[in-house]
Amino acid sequence: MEKYQDLAQDIIKYVGGEENVISLAHCITRLRFKLQDEGKADTDKIEALDGVMTVVQSGGQYQVVIGNEVENVYDTILEIANIQGSKEAPAEEAAADNRSLLDKFIDLVSSIFTPILSVLVATGMIKGFTALLISTQVVAADNGTGQMLSIIGDAFFYFLPIFLGLSAARKFGMSEFTGMATGAALVYPTLPAIMGGEPLYTLFAGSVFASPVHMEFLGLPVILMNYASSVIPIILALYFGAKIEKAIARLVPAMLKNFLTPFLTLLVLIPLTFLLIGPVATWAGQLVGAAATAIYEFSPVLAGVFIGGFWQVFVIFGLHWGLVPIMINNISVLGYDPVVMAHFAASFAQVGVVLAIILRTQDRKLKELAIPACISGLFGVTEPCIYGVTLPRKKFFILSCLGGAVGGGILAAMGARFYLLGGLGVFGYPNFIDVQTNDLAGMYAALLASGVAFAVGLLLTLAAYRQLAADADSRTEAAVATPELPLGGLAAPLTGKIVPLTEVPDAVFASECMGKGVAIEPTEGRVIAPAAGIVTTIFPTGHAIGLTLDDGRELLIHVGMDTVQLEGRYFTAHVAQGDRVTAGQLLIEFEPEKIRAAGFKTITPIIVTNTTNYQAVTATAETTVNFNDLLLTTI
């Protein structure tokens, strides 16, 4: 939070110092101070600060309008000053977020991947087409063209922890560059060479958890693993890293925070990641490998079902590294692998599910994302399918696992074997050819198994799409179909009477300092998503929500004036921060009559908060709108 230090310190100073502050709260755009004496606050100096939009004195509160960064400034003030904060969510909000830990985890991973999905899909397609060009000998893998294409396709995936370090740091509220530095440490170029050398010794030799130690840190054993293309280690590291950074920031003198906080954070976090997160991931992978081997010895078909069904889950958590050594060892010792090869059909099941989504969905943005993901999946690059399409929609991901399980069972039942480590996806069929005897039986088994896995994923998804789509969008029963809008058009998220923004009874919104837009006096107590995007913030009271649409527009929808004071009464949020939403999906329900009876206005501004990115933001000429009527146009 060091980037907000100066602003936070200046605000505290100009409101009369922390001794003049009774308490501090915040809503979705404003710091709300209760001051001992508002006369001691220097409003002119606060309004002149870079990062402050304006100041409003209303209802016994001294309101400093910050905008989208208000929560970061609020957190920083509480870190550096002895000021009482009021940030707890009301009981209504706590009850509303009753998702399981698995749902929360999936939402977390999906939201971290969202900023990088476009590049993930693009590089996935490049990897696939590069494999196609090389396999058909259009280009050679070892010439300049083949090497350059491989660099373009592989670099993003290899250094994925760095990119996830950036987006995870944003998600957890820590320094972005500290997050990237942590990710870079995980893929440091000399690590593979260190791992390839003779180990110093082996921990737990002779057990399932046997772990070679190639280096020590302060005398402690460091158990290394391959973090290239990994996902969970960097996310876990930065989850704890954010807490470490905040704790260090509270202890470091303000004048030294800019360099001493990242200095100490990296010195603690990176060794902690290698000493704890790495070993946990390594041992968990070894345990999975031991379990798979034990199941194979009991029943090869059951092992095929197990590996094929859970392979994508193993990849997400990095646990597949416990199975890869078994596959390599089998091929080197036996000349073939009859165990881990069962994962082969899983990618085809994933592609089948994504293709069904393409055929069924009416969401243009989802389809635009799913089509290239499906293409890269055919070539064995399924990360765009998983992280961009199926995992955020949990039950679709489960269907792909079912298809993988069926395919894995077929491979094992037919006695298929991997004879070499070669291509992925459609280029993986030659891996099943016995090069010693030229026996093609294994390849035929792979063709059958992958085809069945694909069909299972496709047909199950086609048959159950309507119900699964409703479940995946959690609480979408009030979703509204969206019509085509003109270029730059934005659909109305509420029904009601149009009110010019300049007539809103709030100086901040009326002055358009938050951005241009329009207001609606609602006639119905529902707010829907005007387009597909991500919930970037939703206030605990449910009265305001921020969206980042897939086309880059950033919206603030603020139901009523000063309704934060209702502390969640008469509001029900149907989404959480980080959720992906589709056009027409229900976001918030509220009770207009009860809100008005409590003495609050229900007029609702809809603001394009990144107005400066557009030449013009114009409102509809109509006097009333229904859901999904044209409301605003951005140029």
Which residues are marked as active site?
27
d(CA 305, CA 31): 55
133: exposed, middle or buried (Cβ count in 10 Å: 0-12, 13-18, 19+): middle
Stated as kind and residue range, the H or E segment containing 85 is strand 85-86
Element holding 588 (H helix, E strand): strand 586-590
**Alpha carbon distance 425, 128 (integer Å):** 9
Q: Which of 570, 567, 496 is nearest to 528 (CA)?
A: 496
Give me the numbers of helices (H) and strands (E) for the chain, helices first please. 22, 23
Q: Classify each residue of 4-28 as buried b or exposed e, where b means 16 or more C-beta atoms within 10 Å of its C-beta.
A: bbebbebbbebbbeeebbeebbbbb
The one-character DSSP state at 88 is P
Which are the contacts of 615, defined by CB distance < 8 A and separation ≥ 6? 635
- Cα distances from 7 to residues 3, 19, 50, 204, 560, in angstroms, run 8, 18, 8, 52, 29
Whether the CB-CB separation of 30 and 61 falls below 8 Å is answered with no
Q: In what order do the strands lie in the sheet with 516-522?
A: 580-581, 533-538, 544-549, 554-558, 604-608, 516-522, 496-500, 624-625
Following DSSP, what letter does each residue of 514-535 receive, concatenated? T-EEEEEEESSSEEE-SSSEEE
Dihedral sign (CA 357, 358, 360, 362): positive
- Please choose, from the candidates 243, 323, 218, 254, the residue with its C-alpha nearest in 3D space to the C-alpha of residue 80: 254
Looking at residue 532, its amino acid is: A
Question: Distance between CA atoms of 502 and 318, rounded to whole angstroms?
Answer: 53
Q: In what order do the strands lie in the sheet with 571-573?
A: 526-528, 586-590, 571-573
